[in-house]
Structure 1
Amino acid sequence: MNRRARGFSLVELLLALALGLLLVLGVSQVVTSSRATQASQQAAMLLQDDARFVLGKLMQDIRQAGMFGCLATTYIDNAPLAFDRPVYWGAGSSSRALTLVTADVGGRGTPDWTVLSDCSSEAQAYAGNSPVPAPGQARFAIRQLTYTFEAGQLKLSTPTAPAKAVLVDNVEAFDISFGVVAKSASVAVVRYDANPSDESLIRSVRIQMTLRDPSGRVKDQTYSVVAALRNRLG
């Protein structure tokens, strides 16, 4: 028998198969791990997009809360009671709600109130739209927005649209605290309080929100922002 024509032995064949199997398993593990990492990164990005949308909207509305035109509330005739509480946080047995009376930035439909003012000594509040401004008058649209956290969702409603529209799902936690000053003439926040006894001392709002990935591809993500009430900072 010609030794040069001899094939692989059974031991050599088994060894080659074992090595090949190990290589295949290694490559499969790398591919599986890569796909899992990509899926978790994509889930984290989706949570970040949801948080960016909701918190961005909240911060914009908080910054404009209490802005009723160019004159103080005491100068506005027929001002509704809501103007006295531009920021209000209420907690019930199964829900929590942040109510803001804020400037209607961007003109999102019919406002809840409109203030006509000459920015000098006179101002008048109207429900809904106001008459056409006279020469020298400015018009300010005002909305009351209520953000409600309940049943794992953050929702938005207004007096003219009381049905709560869902802004984001899978909210694991939604907590708010208020930056308060020592006295009404101050602007420097001395502490954060979840239930301030004097709402007129509120100068900023801190929001902490935790979002959950329903598929469990990534751990819960917590986001925190602080927005100042510009109308109270002088």
Structure 2
Amino acid sequence: MKSSSTRVAQRGFGLVELMIAMLLGLILIMGVMQIFITSKQTYGMQQSAATMQENARFVLSRISSELRQVGMFGCLDIERLPIATRNQIPAAFATPVTFQDGILTIITADSAVERVTEEVTLTASGLGAGWLLVSDCVAGLRIDSGVGVTAAAGDLVVPVRQLEYRLADHALKTRVNGMGNFETLIEGVSGFDVQFGLAASDADVHVSGAYVTDVTGLESRVRSVRLVLQLAEDPSDPDAGSVKTKDFTLVAALRNRLD
């Protein structure tokens, strides 16, 4: 006959103990799941914020670089060319930066300015440009009008492009040389604004007064451009996203007008 102590040692879990164990296990699982869900949400928010930051950096860096190149043509100083030569310059060059009807237009020289080593005939379209300037950097200047232009050995070749940026369908879009459709650069854009810093006169080099949006008739006094880019996780409803809508601002100086 087994003793009473042995019978007690062989007893299993009762219903109450089993329910308590299940309840504790459920609480533990729910806690782990809550931590997992919170971590996932935090990761998603961080990813969204990082994407917004990277998109803003990419676009503002790109546009500011193009703005700083406005009026820069290597060794070619247009203002010092003879009057007869300057008269060949396309009229569009007089207003290299405009913001009209929500479109930012920049006329800027390509960074691929180079000298040719032998005589060659080039076209603007062949170099992905809207205009092609060929000069000896002294007095001579030839501009491609669509049929090509001949560059002699030692001439400087300057491709000039027209770049356009606009906000459409919650995306910042661009096109080159006014041809074709606008293509998307980044999405998630809820606002795009451009303002201009003006000098007090054509002779001054410093910005005077507040930034303005309308520079009609004052284009020669523009010294810097302020870009304001507003990004949202859900541009159609900026307040609905888990990441707060952010404004990114950058001011780019037109270097050739600060000398």
TM-score norm. by structure 1 comes to 0.86
Structural mapping, 1:95-174, within 5 Å: 96-106=102-112, 109-127=127-145, 131-159=149-177, 161-174=179-192
1:231 aligned residue: 256
Counterpart in the other structure of 1:62: 67
C-alpha displacement of 1:24: 0.9
Amino acid at match of 1:189: V
Q: Distance in 2 between matches of 1:72 and 1:40?
A: 50
Q: Distance in 2 between matches of 1:25 and 1:127?
A: 73
Q: Which of 100, 111, 120 in structure 2 is aligned with 1:90?
A: 100
| TM-score normalised over the length of structure 2 | 0.79
User: In structure 1, what is the equivalent of residue 123 of structure 2?
Assistant: none
Does the 8 A contact of 1:213 with 1:220 survive in 2? Answer: yes
Gaps of 5+ in 2: 114-125, 235-239
Corresponding letter in the other structure for 1:218: V
CA contact under 8 A between 1:209 and 1:223: conserved in structure 2?
yes
Q: In 1, are the aligned partners of 2:56 and 2:248 still within 8 Å (CA)?
A: yes
Percent of aligned pairs with the same amino acid: 37
Deviation per CA, 1:122-175, whole angstroms, max 9, x where unpaired? 333333585332345322111111112223222212335232222222210001
| CA radius of gyration, larger in | 2
User: 1:57-79 CA deviation, whole Å, 9 max, x = no partner?
Assistant: 21111111122452225733421
Q: Against the structure 1 CA distance between its residues 61 and 129, is the aligned structure 2 distance closer, same or farther, given a 3 Å change threshold?
A: farther
Following superposition, the deviation at residue 51 of structure 1 comes to 2.2
RMSD of equivalent CA atoms = 2.4
Q: Distance in 1 between matches of 2:134 and 2:42?
A: 56
1:35 aligns with 2:60: no
Amino acid aligned to 1:203: R
Distance in 2 (CA, whole Å) between partners of 1:185 and 1:74 is: 16
| TM-aligned CA deviation for residue 102 of structure 1 | 0.3
Aligned partner of 2:232 among 204, 208, 212? 212
Count of residue pairs the alignment pairs up: 230
Q: Which of 5, 10, 16 is residue 11 of structure 1 equivalent to?
A: 16
CA distance in 2, matches of 1:139, 1:106: 9
- Tell me which residue corresponds to 2:50: 45
Q: 1:196 aligns with which of 196, 208, 215?
A: 215
When residues 47 and 161 of structure 1 are mapped into structure 2, their CA distance, relative to the original with a 3 A threshold, is same
CA contact (8 A) 2:132 2:157 kept: yes
1:193 aligned counterpart, secondary structure? coil
CA distance in 2, matches of 1:167, 1:150: 11
Question: What SS is found at the alignment partner of 2:17?
Answer: helix
SS of residue in 1 equivalent to 2:64: helix
Q: Aligned-pair distance for 1:6? A: 2.9
Q: Are the structure 2 counterparts of residues 160 and 100 from structure 1 closer, same or farther at C-alpha, using a change threshold of 3 Å?
A: closer
